Amino acid sequence: MKQTSKLFELVEADIKSRRYGQQPESLYEPIRYIMAIGGKRLRPMLVLLAYSLYKKDFKSVVRYATAVEAFHNFTLMHDDIMDKAPLRRGKPTVHKVWDVNTAILSGDVMLIKVYDQFLDLPSSKLKEALKLLGKCAAEVCEGQQWDMEFEGRSTVSEQEYISMIRQKTAVLLGFSLELGGLLAGAPARDRKYLREFGIQIGIGFQLRDDLLDVFADAKKFGKLAGGDIIANKKTFLLIKAIEHASGKDKSELDRWLTTRRFNKREKVAAVTALYEKLGIRKMTEKKIDQYFQRGFGSLAKVRSKQRIVLGDFASALIDRQV
């Protein structure tokens, strides 16, 4: 784990060194704010760990890894506006500290700065890297649009939901790993399997987040407990509950989904109890395990003995307790 600690320090140091811009201060301070409130730095770590399978000169590529982190935080800044989220990583969201218009504009310039960080890539890699970034960015936006459309629908299938979180969340992990391989000159075959590893565990991580929103300690999780339940958000848990509920359970669930005025604590407690009664927690845990296993199956096909470090890093995240 010494290597991962070293890489994390490199990522943090690079992020702290970046000003992103100077004036107007109100445009750039929100960027520095959201980048400074921490997180696992999962995506830049995946870039560097994938790179480490083939090369060790991490300092030469850390700026591209932190560009991916900036892109991720740009999506969070805008996502929080759309979700009307009050907290991000246990801190007030950008649109709460400043205002919605500032958060939109700061997010916009943040995306521009991401592309700026990529521009000094060697010409042999620049076109492919920007192509991969553009494809990933479009898919993230498509996933977010599907997520919003699902909120206006009474039913969403499991397949539709998995497709949505693949685009909205998982493809960015796949891109991070594929980018690391590209920067290191990895064979196309390995890059394909690295990408697939990222996508599969990314789906697993999002399903884990769905579970954590309901069953984790809110202080540890950094989000409002049961926020998805309060918002009637179409998570994997709710989709399966709608699918499996019948009789009185279905009536109670329907009542909570259609009632406009309610006590938040009471709703969270009632819906959580229904999830437990219907076995939704176990269903979700089983599905999470399936995606993690598929991901590690792809990683096993990567032709590098160093893949064990990447696997250990992912396993440590997977072992995070609900």
Q: What is the rounded average pLDDT of the residues 152-171?
A: 96
CA 95 to CA 76: how far, in whole Å? 11
For 7, 45, 48, 130, 322, the CA distances from 4, given in Å and listed in that order, are 5, 8, 9, 26, 23
Nearest CA to 205 out of 169, 235, 164 is that of 169
SS3 156: coil
Please write the tens of the pLDDT for every residue from 91-148: 999 999 999 999 999 999 999 999 999 999 999 999 999 999 999 999 999 999 999 9
Scanning 18-99, the segments in alpha helix (DSSP H) are: 25-36, 42-52, 62-83, 94-97
Q: What does the angle CA 286 – CA 156 – CA 85 come to, to the nearest 5 degrees? A: 85
Q: What is the rounded average pLDDT of the residues 184-195?
A: 97
Q: What is the rounded average pLDDT of the residues 4-14?
A: 93
Q: Which domains does the chain have, with CATH numbers?
A: 2-318 (1.10.600.10)
Model confidence, pTM: 0.92
Nearest CA to 137 out of 100, 176, 82, 98 is that of 176
Q: Is 67 left (phi over 0), alpha (psi -120 to 50) or beta?
A: alpha
The percentage of the chain sitting over the pLDDT mark of 90, rounded to a whole number, equals: 84
* Percent helix / strand / coil, the chain, rounded to 5: 75, 0, 20
Please write the tens of the pLDDT for every residue from 212-229: 999 987 666 555 678 899
CA 78 to CA 99: how far, in whole Å? 12
DSSP state of 168: I
Give me the chain's average pLDDT, please.
Answer: 93
Confidence band, pLDDT 50/70/90 cuts, at residue 322:
very low
